[in-house]
Amino acid sequence: MSGSFKNQAVKIAGITIHPGEHRIIELPIAKLYTHTDLSIPVQVICGKKAGPSLFISAAIHGDELNGVEIIRRLLKNTGVKKLKGTLIVVPIVNVFGIIQHSRYLPDRRDLNRSFPGSSKGSLAGRLAFMFLDEIVKKCQYGIDLHTGAIHRSNLPQIRADLEDPEVRALAEAFSVPVILNSNLRDGSLREAAGSIGVKVLLYEAGEALRFDELSIRAGVRGIISVMRKLEMLPALKKGRHPIEPFMARSSHWERAPESGVLRPIVALGARVAKNEVLALITDPSDMFDQTEYEVRAQFAGLVIGRSNIPLVNEGDALFHIARFEDIGEAAATVEAFQNTAENTPNPVFEDQPSV
């Protein structure tokens, strides 16, 4: 992809965006039952010079908000506007869900289980179909931004189909410490995009209905790194030391052995040994004797996801533990990543003020 060629125009919702143009487009979708018009805001930066086409989507789950802020900060960087190729960003895909602070659509379906959808299907299916048709099919690459579910936090991590070498290289370029291999057939945007040859990374970080600063910074930096890798943005002059990511061999959830009040002991990002006590559950009907149940790690690993609510039912998923070949190195990288993210005010473009 030589930068000397002129970029091509892109057409979304019947509107043509020519090379050198930035446009905001309202993608019309079904009305609310009050007959209020509803549309998905889409921003398109069509670079003057040829290069890859990339979409970035957030809030496919309407209560997952970190990605909305990641996209705002990304677009604030003037460097991004000088890109090669075409960037299509959709900060809020599930416009229904965000109004209700809900993961779901009004038909109670999960949009990220409704792909590829159909123009004659349920509301979720129609929205999925239109998103695939109007946005995803116009691109070669995509990054889909997510957070943990309500009351759950995720350590910044990339989920991708690592059997595809190009996807793997982009996942590594994102520079978060943990990568999970995942090629599920689950009706997700990532799966549907993959089946039509569009390569998608999924970024998971933080908690639903909250902004998490570390997750947001790592997300902005990761997207910029991927855009550099794709040569949409120039390479850094002096090489920063990228975070060397670790591929998890597998992961599993430790669940509550009993119902009760939970006191977690280990933090997100912590390294845990096999059989280590992760949390204690107290029986609230037995405050005199203080009967306690231990939640223990079945395997050594890193805590990459955690429940934040102290009230648990038996069987609730509490700690998401990832296993690695070299757990010591992976743990050291997570620590270095957390320190760097906390101590770097704006790690993206050195010549720009903090956002």
> Which residues are near Zn ion by CB under 5 A?
61, 64, 146
Do 77 and 349 form a contact (C-beta atoms < 8 A)? yes
CB of residue 154 to Zn ion, shortest distance in Å: 10
CB of residue 93 to Zn ion, shortest distance in Å: 11
Q: Phi/psi class of residue 13: alpha, beta or left (left: φ > 0; alpha: ψ in -120 to 50)?
A: left
CB of residue 103 to Zn ion, shortest distance in Å: 7
Residue 152 or 221: the one with the smaller Cβ distance to Zn ion is: 152
- Tokens representing residue 19 in the block: 């090379």
CB of residue 112 to Zn ion, shortest distance in Å: 6
One-letter identity of residue 19: P
Other beta carbons less than 10 A from residue 263's beta carbon: 12
Cα dist. 113→39, 169, 221, 244, 351 in Å?
21, 26, 28, 31, 41
Backbone angles phi, psi at 179, to 5 degrees: -125, 130
Other beta carbons less than 10 A from residue 298's beta carbon: 10
Cα dist. 157→58, 153, 216, 303 in Å?
15, 11, 12, 12
**What residues have CB less than 8 Å from 70, skipping those under 6 apart?**
58, 145, 216, 219, 220, 223
- Residue least distant from Zn ion (Cβ): 146
Cα dist. 39→6, 44, 130, 151, 308 in Å?
31, 15, 12, 29, 33
Residue 268 or 281: the one with the smaller Cβ distance to Zn ion is: 268
Q: Look-up: residue for tokens 């509107």?
A: 15
CB of residue 205 to Zn ion, shortest distance in Å: 11
CB of residue 204 to Zn ion, shortest distance in Å: 7
Residue 172 or 207: the one with the smaller Cβ distance to Zn ion is: 207
Residue 52 or 194: the one with the smaller Cβ distance to Zn ion is: 194
Residue 64 or 254: the one with the smaller Cβ distance to Zn ion is: 64
CB of residue 327 to Zn ion, shortest distance in Å: 27
Residue 72 or 113: the one with the smaller Cβ distance to Zn ion is: 113
Residue 148 or 269: the one with the smaller Cβ distance to Zn ion is: 148
Residue 51 or 222: the one with the smaller Cβ distance to Zn ion is: 222
Do 7 and 84 form a contact (C-beta atoms < 8 A)? yes
Cα dist. 120→2, 4, 90, 124 in Å?
41, 43, 23, 11
Do 255 and 296 form a contact (C-beta atoms < 8 A)? no
Q: What does the DSSP 8-state code read for residue 206?
A: E
CB of residue 61 to Zn ion, shortest distance in Å: 4
CB of residue 318 to Zn ion, shortest distance in Å: 19
Residue 63 or 161: the one with the smaller Cβ distance to Zn ion is: 63
